[in-house]
Amino acid sequence: MFKHQIKGVFFDLDGTLVDTAPDMALALNLQLEAHGKSTLDYEVIRPWVSHGAAALIKLAFNIAPTDKDFEGYRQEYLDIYSNNLCIKSRLFPYIDKLLGYFESNSIKWGVVTNKPEFLALPLLTSLGLKDRAASIVCGDTIKPSKPSPVPLFLACNQAQLPSNQCIYIGDAERDIQAAKAASQFSIAANYGYLTEKDNIREWGAEFIVNNSKDLYHYFCTTNT
């Protein structure tokens, strides 16, 4: 996609736009401590962050969603995380510079995430992003969520943009699936929260970036 064709760029939140893993890991370890269990190394937790609270509970307590205690643990985790939402979470390097580039060149940008509104909106507000975004679609804003293209279509509607002139960037296969179903150019963020089982080159993204600096340079120095 040539730069002059781009009307909008949408980001996944966790692992693509914002490095939220430090706070999500903190919350999980606080929960483990509260239950008298050993904490987990950050490197163990980080790859699972993009898969949400359910994946983190399964990792920490080794129980399945069908377990009678699972939902209680999940709600407890969300409560702890909501109280530690933006302690160490920050934009990935060069992302704020990239957003400034978009804004200076009349390219609208937004966020399409499966993170629920009660977590995503306060986080974006704390980081000074909520009022800058042309659209914000969260996991409970509309159903079905990603990998359905429905959230991306809603984001385009909010931003008053044609879907086929937008780009979606994410660090999970469901992000690329959603982008393709919405006829959007897709970029896979290899710097995000990927597990050992994730083979990013099999997702079918039009482009892969290995770090957020490369993402900045992709838009600011290329015409592809």
Structural tokens at position 213: 């600096």
First-residue to last-residue Cα distance in the chain: 6
Instruction: Confirm whether 12 is a catalytic residue.
Output: yes
Reported residue count of the chain is: 224
- Residue 201 DSSP label: G
91 bridge partner residues: 18
- Active-site residue identified among 14, 23, 175, 198: 14
Kind plus residue range of the DSSP H or E element containing 95: helix 95-104
Residue type, 190: N
* Helices (runs of H) and strands (runs of E) counted in the chain: 9, 8
Listing DSSP states for 159-173 in one string gives HT--GGGEEEEESSH
- Active-site residue identified among 12, 19, 23, 175: 12
Alpha carbon separation from 128 to 2, 32, 118, 124, 131 (Å, rounded):
29, 31, 16, 6, 7
Q: Which residues are tagged catalytic?
A: 12, 14
